[in-house]
Amino acid sequence: MSRPSTLSEKIIARAAGLESVRPGDVVTCQVDLAMMHDSGGPRRVAPVLEKLNVGVWDPDRVVVVSDHYVPAVDAESAKILDGVRTWCRSHKIENFHDMQGICHIVLQEHSYLKPGMFVVGGDSHSPTGGAVGCFMFGVGATDMAAVLATGETWLQVPETLGVRWHGQLGLGVCAKDMMLKACAVLGVGGATNRVVEFVGPTIESLPHVERMTLCNMTAELGAQTGIISPDQITAKYLRSIGTVFDELTDWRSDPDATFDEILEFDASDLQPLVAVPHSPANTTPVNNIDTTKVHQAYIGACTGAKLNDLHMAAAVLHGHRVAKGVRLLLAPASVQVTSTATADGTLGTLLDAGAILMPSGCGACAGYGAGVLTDGEVCISSTARNFRGRMGSVSSKVYLASPYTVAAAAIAGHITDPRPFLETATL
């Protein structure tokens, strides 16, 4: 009889061909899917595969997305992208999404992920896949090359940290605030080598895209991955994108499974938060830094430019204009997000307010292409990281916040509470 297991332990055991696993076990797992992007993908793994004189174990189980260097802004970027396209053709990678959006968003939009899958990604924010109920984690180029060559990877089974949320989120508060709170409590690296499993009534009420934000930012906690048990909200999302999946009941932690620890949070006490430079853990209520002037407001990245994020920004910006001297840059997380936001009027609201539409991609979040900061500039951003020099000059300053708060700052010209704008909008 197998021991009571957490959701992650169940997925790992299946991938390893074992009845059950325990934290600390070292196992070899069969990979269901491998994902790479243009920055850390083919240009890094190709030399390793060539040296080993091996190809890709199963091209149908490899997804490649160009999202970092797109669109090319110089000859070097163009060369990198050309190399990705050439490599995908030569290895018959049909699952190649060229300039269609950020890999973590594209992967879910195109039905690659299902509950219970064991997935590796060539990017630190790969835990985003945990919102579907996958065990998905980031690996470096050397490990990815081994996966591509063999279809396997090794893993030391991690402990699971339970993060339980109860209570109802208030006006102008969202999953981004929840994660900034977790970063403040745990600190950057506070969940290193553990799985963060989100549980509780608040989690059960969140829409799928908000769950993506939670799992995405477990990378800032140093976690191996983040995960949420799939439920009817998950099933509704999967059906909406045409994903065929099995029953969800098996993919959840057993009631008597052992967690390393469980942290309790009350959503009803949460207010809009901001992470001040230069760490996501430097989090404080927005009213503590009200009047901090900004040069740029950025709504972008896998963390903060999904359709729901754009809806949040539009709710604040409706009927307002961006302040003089402030740049509000909008980089939707995917081409599909841009299309849907155009059709439902969201994009029109944002552009009417003065937002500047940019291509879908990682862009300024990772310090690539358009939107980077010069010396001394201050940016408030819906992204996940505000390390020194992350978005440009080392003397620039980046504040992290929800799309609500970013939009409010764009209107006011300084960091401010978004709730008064939302209260007015509901009248």
pLDDT, mean of residues 333-361: 98
- 16 found inside a domain: yes
| Listed residues 203, 231, 266: the one ending a domain | 266
| Listed residues 250, 266, 282: the one ending a domain | 266
Same domain, 181 and 282: no
Model pLDDT for residues 37-75, shown as the tens digit of each residue:
999 999 999 999 999 999 999 999 999 999 999 999 999
Same domain, 158 and 199: yes
- The answer to whether the peptide bond before residue 278 is cis (omega within 30 degrees of 0) is yes
Model pLDDT for residues 199-226, shown as the tens digit of each residue:
999 999 999 999 999 999 999 999 999 9
Specify the amino acid at residue 165.
W
Among candidate residues 297, 317, 320, 307, the one with its CA nearest the CA of residue 382 = 297
CB of 81 closer than 8 Å to CB of 114: no
Handedness of CA 277, 280, 282, 284 (dihedral sign): positive
- 213 found inside a domain: yes
Same domain, 173 and 48: yes
* CA separation for the pair 29, 85 (Å, rounded): 29
Q: Which of 244-253, 357-366, 385-394, 407-416 has the highest mean pLDDT?
A: 407-416
- 108 found inside a domain: yes
Same domain, 260 and 278: no
Handedness of CA 66, 69, 75, 80 (dihedral sign): negative
Same domain, 317 and 217: no
Is the pLDDT reported for residue 249 higher than 80?
Answer: no
- Total domains, the chain: 2
- 162 found inside a domain: yes
Same domain, 344 and 360: yes
- 109 found inside a domain: yes
| Mean confidence (pLDDT) of the chain | 96
Q: Residue 291's pLDDT is what?
A: 85
Same domain, 261 and 335: no
Same domain, 375 and 411: yes
Q: Residue 427's pLDDT is what?
A: 40
Residue-number span of the structural domain to which 309 is assigned: 273-425
**What residue spans of 187-334 are helical by DSSP H?**
201-205, 208-216, 232-240, 301-304, 307-317
Model pLDDT for residues 100-114, shown as the tens digit of each residue:
999 999 999 999 999
The pLDDT > 90 percentage for the chain reads 94
Is the pLDDT reported for residue 192 higher than 50?
Answer: yes
Is the pLDDT reported for residue 1 higher than 60?
Answer: no
* CA separation for the pair 391, 387 (Å, rounded): 8
Tell the burial category of 236 from Cβ atoms under 10 Å away from its Cβ (0-12, 13-18, 19+).
exposed
- 1 found inside a domain: no
Q: Residue 378's pLDDT is what?
A: 97
Same domain, 47 and 141: yes
Q: Residue 246's pLDDT is what?
A: 76
* CA separation for the pair 11, 46 (Å, rounded): 29
Lowest average pLDDT, out of 165-169, 287-291, 361-365, goes to 287-291
Q: What's the CATH code of the domain at 34? A: 3.30.499.10
The pLDDT > 70 percentage for the chain reads 99
Same domain, 112 and 179: yes
pLDDT, mean of residues 324-333: 98
Global pTM? 0.96
Same domain, 178 and 311: no
- What is the DSSP-derived secondary structure letter of residue 414? B
- 345 found inside a domain: yes
Same domain, 292 and 223: no
* CA separation for the pair 208, 211 (Å, rounded): 5
Specify the 3-state DSSP secondary structure of 37. Answer: strand
| Listed residues 247, 266, 285: the one ending a domain | 266
DSSP codes of every residue in 167-211: S---TT--HHHHHHHHHHHH-TTTTTTSEEEEESHHHHHS-HHHH
CB of 61 closer than 8 Å to CB of 151: yes
